[in-house]
Amino acid sequence: MSILALESVTFRYRGSSEPALRDVSLTLQPGQGVGIVGESGSGKSTALNLLLGLTTPEQGRVLFDGVDLRGRGVVKRLRHAVQPVFQDPYASLDPRMRVDRIVGEPLDSLRIGSTGAERKERVRAVLAEVGLDGDSLKKYPHEFSGGQRQRIAIARALVTDPSVLIADEPVSALDMTTRIEVIELLARLRAERGIGVVMVSHDMSIVAALCGRVLVLKDGGVVEEGETLRVLAEPRESYTKALIAAIPRLPG
């Protein structure tokens, strides 16, 4: 059974005549990677907000573990199990908070971990898992590079022991070398922890590195979907071909 799904979802922002998403379906199996690509305004962030339970569809259903999010207590379970990773690690980490508080914050807001020592150990363990040592705990975000900050953001997402990460352009604010390192980290977490990942990117090559399946959105509708390698090799739609043609190539 899928861990997270959109089932024929239509969503319209208040006051808008056109829906931002129309009849969109997406299925994430445990441990799977699914990419969402499309040009600006195609509905990618709207789809992620629905998967995070931040908005509710006008038509269709959002399912967590096969259960409609409108069911009693389902959103609460989703808050533990489905964690966001945002685009910009400069904007998403509170500059006034030290790393131990930033990473431990979801434990406080979701009331996880009974003792201070337990909490501390959990924060230390997830930081180690993303490649940061104990010295990081008492530092502020400005003392880290962009890639390290995104590792901190990923540690914060991991601290609740989630089954899914929802990542909105997680590497687009980083330089090329750091992008590869962060994508490798996410791929390792998927393999080792069996975490499912839904990732939005405008870059098909980033999606190919992490996501076995891809969904192509245009004007709020799915124009193409399938195995990422198949879509890259034999795109069926001219819109998808244009997205692939826009992949940045390294010189030489």
Ligand X SMILES: Nc1ncnc2c1ncn2[C@@H]1O[C@H](COP(=O)(O)OP(=O)(O)OP(=O)(O)O)[C@@H](O)[C@H]1O
Binding site for ligand X (CB under 6 A): 13, 16, 20, 38, 40-46
User: How far is residue 99's CA from residue 137's CA, in Å, rounded to a whole number?
Assistant: 5
Distance (Å, rounded) from C-alpha 113 to C-alpha 107?
7
Q: Which is nearer to ligand X, 148 or 201 (CB)?
A: 201
Min. distance of Cβ 43 from ligand X in angstroms? 4
Is 146 buried (19+), middle (13-18) or exposed (0-12) by CB count in 10 A? Answer: middle
Which of 52, 55, 74 has its CA nearest to residue 65?
74
Structural contact between residues 56 and 69, judged by C-beta atoms closer than 8 angstroms = yes
Which residue, 44 or 190, has its beta carbon nearer to ligand X?
44
Q: Record the tokens describing residue 93, joined without a space.
A: 């980490």
Nearer to ligand X among residue 46 and residue 228 (C-beta): 46
Report which of 185, 239, 183, 189 is spatially closest to residue 35, judged by C-alpha positions.
183
Cβ of residue 101: shortest distance to ligand X, in angstroms?
29
Instruction: Quote the least distance from Cβ 14 to ligand X, whole Å.
Output: 7
Give dist(CA 183, CA 212) in Å, integer.
Answer: 14
Q: Residue 63 or 200: which CB sits closer to ligand X?
A: 200
Residue 250 to residue 232: CA distance in whole angstroms = 17
Q: Which is nearer to ligand X, 29 or 45 (CB)?
A: 45
Percent helix, strand and coil across the chain, each to the nearest 5: 40, 20, 40
CB of 148 to ligand X, least distance (A): 25
Cα separation, 59 vs 227, in Å, equals 27
| Nearest residue (CB) to ligand X, 20 versus 166 | 20
Q: How far is the CB of 163 from ligand X (least distance, A)?
A: 24
Minimum distance between the CB of residue 19 and ligand X, rounded to whole angstroms?
9
